[in-house]
Each structure stands twice: as structure tokens, then as C-alpha cells.
Structure 1
Amino acid sequence: MAQQNSFGWGIMGTGAIAGLFAADLGLLPQARIAAVQSRSLEKAQGFAARFGGATAYDDEAAFLADPAIEAVYIATPNHLHAAQALKAIAAGKPVLIEKPIALASADVEKIAQAASERGVFAMEALWSRFLPAVRRAREQIAASRIGKVRCIRADLSYLHPEEPGSRFFDPALGGGAAFDLGVYPLSLAQHLLGEPLAVSGSWLAAGTGVDRRSFFRLDYPAAVAELSCGFDRDGANRLLVEGERGGLIFEAPFLKVQRLSWYADASRAVAAYERGIGGMARLLDRLPQSGRASESCAFPGSGLQFQAEAAMAAIRAGKSGCPEMPLGESAAVLRIIEAIRAQPGTAP
């Protein structure tokens, strides 16, 4: 049994995101890596050696049976998330599942049902929701700092060439811009505005049939969210919240935002957002501006420690989920993606 002061994490997967999570656990004195699992024992052993000598496994069942593991972080390719989450839950292990939690909303419902029946914690690792800047922004918006929100705009784009074997474009691996990038703006918009009344959008197909770029419009009673994501270019990667009495920009890259720009006038926030962050706009952004307050919410590491901390607190308190990232909202994001992908895509 792990000591009360040392929460034992088991990590499934040894890729880049698993490494970031493991490194950020090092920022939490109450956390440790108890075990790691990979299909390759050599990779598991190498990962364990990098992060303190945890027990290495190449067998899922043996890994999930390890009593030193108090929660499992699933950091494998997208198409494995749901099945591995269900296995962890069946083994009685609380589970934190890297985004996207699944490739279908129906699978999230299966995870939720299994977790409820087993009395086990389950949450999607949409780590952006737990960042200090996002928590601060949500509190201030709720306190009406910029008035009632009437529009959210965001684009999240990183250039990835369509190359043979690329996981970003492989449908069998859960590839596509919406699954890899779109979940961030969709989840944050939902975090600020709730579930929309209506959804519309479109998508551009890659040669493999997944989406190279997707566009989403979420309609609310008195607001709209216009969101996009793509692999076809490197974007400005900022998020704008336009209110009735002011505006807010989550500065780039907003998925791991460390700086907020508050504007006393919404039109100035919109203009700043539309200027982007390149060239002269970047220079202007560094200068003091009347009517703008820049707020730093810097943190060490990559920012994954905050979701781990929230999950550990919930698990130790005997909770089955976390109010900042409920499974119902994870399913709602996937339903939006499903609604758009149900339409014919524009050919490459």
C-alpha cells in the first residue's frame, strides 16, 4: 500500500505526452510514479529509469494488478484510450484519460457507466481547464468583469505535413485535427458558456479521409462561439472572449496559456485578436496600452501537474469525478465533432 503522503501513479504509454506528465508529477511532492506500462518492456524500463525507477511492465493485466498504483494515467494513441480506460476501471483503478478520452461519444457513456457501477474515479485529461490562467479567467468572467459573454473566437493550428505513417493523419489511430486539436477550443468554450443549443460547421479532408481542418459554430441563447483547428498551417493560437463591457484574450498558445490580456473595451480586444501576433503586432503587444491590463499566470513545467493535483484530491476524497471536467462534458465535445464529421468534407 502506498503511503498517504505519496500518491502512486501508473502510466500507460511512454510517448511524448507521457514524458511531460511524468516530468510535471515531479513538481508535486505528494505524487510519485509507481509503475509504467508499454507494449515494449525495453521502452517501459527506459521510461522508468528516466523518472525514478518505477516498476516497468509490458503486460497490461499485470500492470493493472499492481497494488502500488492508486490511479492510472492513459497516454497511449487515441484509438486505445476508451478500451484501456474500461480495463482500468474493471480492475478498480481510478483513471485519468488523455484527450480525446475516446473517438465516439457512445464510448464516453460506457466509461461513465462502468465508473459509476464500479465506484471508480474517471476523468478526461483536458489539462487546459486546470491551468491557473483558465481558472482565473472563469472566475473573473463569472464576476462580470467584461459583462455578459457574447462571442468566443479561437483557432488552434499547427503545421503537420501529410506524410506516410503520420499518426496525425491515420484514421486507424484516431487521427485528424478535431481529435488532436479541436477538443481544446471546444472544451474551453463549453467550460465558459455551457453546452450549445445548436451546432454547425464544416471540414476539409486530408488524403487519408481524416480532417485536415475543421470549423465549428456553437450557438447559445445570447452568444456564439466560432472555433477552428487545423494541421495546414501554424496559427496565432489565441482565444478571444468578447463581452458586453470588455474583452479578454488568452495569449498564445492558449491551450497552455500563461498570460491574459483584459480590455476595457470589447472592440479593442477584437482588433487586437484580429491583428494576430506576428511582426508589428508582436511589437505593439509588448508596449503598455491604455485600457489593457496584462496578467501573468506563469507556472513551472508544462502545466499537466494541475490536472494531476485535482484528480488526486478528488480520488483521495472518494469522489467519482471532478466538477471542472465532468464526463458529460467530454461526451458533449465528441458529439459536436461527430455532428460536423457526419457532413461531407471538402476534398483535398
Structure 2
Amino acid sequence: MGTGAIAGLFAADLGLLPQARVAAVHSRSLEKAQGFAARFGEAKAYDDEAAFLADPAIEAVYIATPNHLHAAQALKAIAAGKPVLIEKPIALASADVEAIALAAGERGIFAMEALWSRFLPAVRRAREEIAAGRIGKVRRIRADLSYLHPEEPGSRFFDPTLGGGAAFDLGVYPLSLALHLLGEPGAVSGSWLAAGTGVDRRSVFRLDYPAAVAELSCGFDRNGANRLLIEGERSGLVFEAPFLKAQRLSWYADAGRAAAAYERGTGGVTRLLNRMPQSGRVSENFALPGNGLQFQAEAAMAAIRAGRSACAEMPLGESAAVLRVIETIRAQPATTL
């Protein structure tokens, strides 16, 4: 459902999976659906939601429409008996995620947020190594994910009716990883800077745990370093830029070195240092075929074939928890420059 840029990337990456194909495409415009379908084999084209969801050839639905449509379309797909993979953010309110989880659970229908970065080989590798104790217990996570987007009329990034804002578009990435590693925080604090349209141009989050903290931010107001730091009680790890498409991990012999490397940012000197061997650092590279969206599709397909209604790597409870953090910060008055 949807024929935008992310839908095209996802459909292209399905071509890397021998057991997957695009069976049908839905758009509000039949012409757009037909054009998209022509790019990806012999898919049927629909401009009617009910007819699309009733197509017996469709075994699962990927929702890649504007943010504000995700939850309602997911519920329609579940009601039609179709497993569903819902592009991030899965919804604009945590209550909507809970409704999706309830409907999926009652029907025994698979539902998952398509937060693709969680399924990348580098992220899986880091999660396994951290769980095995490589860096000790996680004590601090730091990240900023920022890409400059000018506030222009019609921009989806700033349109509140389309679910715009930095937190929904970018903040879900570091928040999701932090909650996956540390669980739900005991306390949430932070701030947000409003754009002219009322959505957040920048958001800052602090998640406090009994023995750890996550300091995260995102924004449309600058091009950031876009790296992520995980400090353990013994050593540390940096996801090199851009961490949402993690292709390089740098493991440091102690957390202080990892923090210092993170602070250096991604300028020319840092890029030069990263190409050179360094004492106390081990780097791992994870080149990706395609765009990296095939891994989440593969996980969803495996869960559906196994008859599960959820995925352990991306449970709906964590999707709801991420939105609760965003809701907590957005409930505060916006800050000003």
C-alpha cells in the first residue's frame, strides 16, 4: 500500500529474496499503482482498498503510505486476515499501536513495525555481542540523527496532517534501539523545538534507568554526525555514520576511547583516522546488497510462515513504548531558539 520512495526501495529489495514477490499494489491513484506495478513484474494494480485487501493472491501487506494513514490501514489489513508490515512510525499515538496489537492478537494475524535498521546484520551482530557481555553492562547510549530539511510549503517533513516532525521521521531510530537494549526507562525528560507548522524541528530525549542513561536527539535543523555510541562498564562501541544504515562497527577497548571517538564527529580528520589502524579499536564492516530493507521482510516472512502474530526482534510493545516517549516530550511546551 503506497507508491512513494520507500515503497520503491522495499519492492526492489524484495527482488533479493527468492521466495518473495510483489503480488499487488494499491494507491489512491490507479495510474500510479499501474506505473509502480509495471516496475516490479506482473503485480495487479488497485485504487480500491477493499478490493486490494480481498485479493487472495496477497499473503502479506506492506504499508508505506504517509504516516497518518498507517494505523487505520493496518487495522483494515488485519480485519481482512492479512499479515501486515507497517512502515515506521507504525502510528502517531501509542494507543493506536495498542489497538493494532490487540486486533492482531485476537485474530492471530502477524503485525510488525517496519523499522528496518533493527534487522541489519551489523545491528544483529552488535546485539548478540552485547548480550554475550563483550562490553559489559550497558551504562550509556548517545546518538544524534539529524538531516537538514528546509521548511518549505508542502514538505511532508513539516506537515502536521501527514504526521510530520523530526521525532516521527528520525527519532524513532535511536529511541527504538535504546529501548531494545535497555527496556522501558524509569524516567523520561527532554525538550523540543517547534517548526512554524507546529511539528518538532528538533527533539531531545533523556531516558533514565537505575544504572544507565540514554541521551538521544534528532532534527531537521542541521546535518548531524549521525553516529551512535554505546558505553559498557568495560568497553564501548560506535555505530559509524549513518548509523540507521549501519555498515561499520567500531569496538573500543575501553568506554573512554569510544566516547572520545564519538565526540570527534565525522569530519575529515575522523574519516582519515577511521581508515587507519588504531590501537585498542577493532572495526567490522558489513556491506549491504540493495538498500537493506530485505532483512526486515525476511524476518516478517519467517514469522508469518511459523504462524506467529509478532516478531521477537521488533515486538509491538516496543513500538508503543517509543511513541510513549515521544508523547511525553511533546506534552511539554516547545522551546525557542
- TM interval, shorter chain, is over 0.9
Per the alignment, residue 39 of structure 2 pairs with: 50
Per the alignment, residue 328 of structure 1 pairs with: 317
Distance 1:122 1:91 in 2: 13
Matched, 1:119 2:94: no
Which of 179, 204, 209 is residue 168 of structure 2 equivalent to?
Answer: 179
Distance 1:104 1:13 in 2: 21
Once the two structures are TM-superposed, the CA of residue 170 in structure 1 deviates from its matched residue by 0.5
Contact 1:202 1:214 in 2 (8 A): yes
Per the alignment, residue 161 of structure 1 pairs with: 150
Look up the SS of the partner of 1:338 in the other structure.
helix
One-letter identity of the residue aligned with 1:185? P
One-letter identity of the residue aligned with 1:102? A
Per the alignment, residue 209 of structure 1 pairs with: 198
Distance 2:137 2:318 in 1: 22
One-letter identity of the residue aligned with 2:230? V
Once the two structures are TM-superposed, the CA of residue 331 in structure 1 deviates from its matched residue by 0.4
Contact 1:96 1:123 in 2 (8 A): yes
Contact 1:206 1:347 in 2 (8 A): no
Per the alignment, residue 199 of structure 1 pairs with: 188
1:32-181 mapped onto 2 (5 Å cutoff) = 32-181=21-170
CA shift digits 1:288-312 (9 cap, x unpaired): 1011000012220111101100000
Distance 2:213 2:108 in 1: 37
Matched, 1:343 2:332: yes
Distance 2:92 2:48 in 1: 24
CA shift digits 1:44-70 (9 cap, x unpaired): 011011111200101111100000100
Look up the SS of the partner of 1:255 in the other structure.
helix
Distance 2:152 2:206 in 1: 30
Distance 2:247 2:40 in 1: 26
Contact 1:158 1:233 in 2 (8 A): yes
Matched, 1:218 2:219: no
Once the two structures are TM-superposed, the CA of residue 149 in structure 1 deviates from its matched residue by 0.9
One-letter identity of the residue aligned with 1:302? N
One-letter identity of the residue aligned with 1:43? K
CA shift digits 1:115-174 (9 cap, x unpaired): 111111000001111111011001101111111110000000001000001010010000
Distance 1:280 1:303 in 2: 28
Q: TM-score, normalised by structure 1?
A: 0.96
One-letter identity of the residue aligned with 1:116? G
Distance 2:150 2:252 in 1: 37
Which of 259, 274, 286 is residue 270 of structure 1 equivalent to?
Answer: 259
Distance 2:67 2:261 in 1: 35
Distance 2:179 2:291 in 1: 23
Once the two structures are TM-superposed, the CA of residue 175 in structure 1 deviates from its matched residue by 0.4
Q: TM-score, normalised by structure 2?
A: 0.99
Contact 1:243 1:266 in 2 (8 A): yes
Distance 1:141 1:117 in 2: 34
Distance 2:178 2:15 in 1: 30
CA shift digits 1:214-263 (9 cap, x unpaired): 00000111100000000001111000001111110011111110110000
CA shift digits 1:244-290 (9 cap, x unpaired): 11110011111110110000011111011000011212111111101
RMSD: 0.7
Per the alignment, residue 15 of structure 2 pairs with: 26
Distance 2:224 2:38 in 1: 36
Alignment: residue pair count: 337
One-letter identity of the residue aligned with 2:10? F
Once the two structures are TM-superposed, the CA of residue 195 in structure 1 deviates from its matched residue by 1.1
Once the two structures are TM-superposed, the CA of residue 347 in structure 1 deviates from its matched residue by 3.6
Look up the SS of the partner of 1:33 in the other structure.
coil
1:300-319 mapped onto 2 (5 Å cutoff) = 300-319=289-308
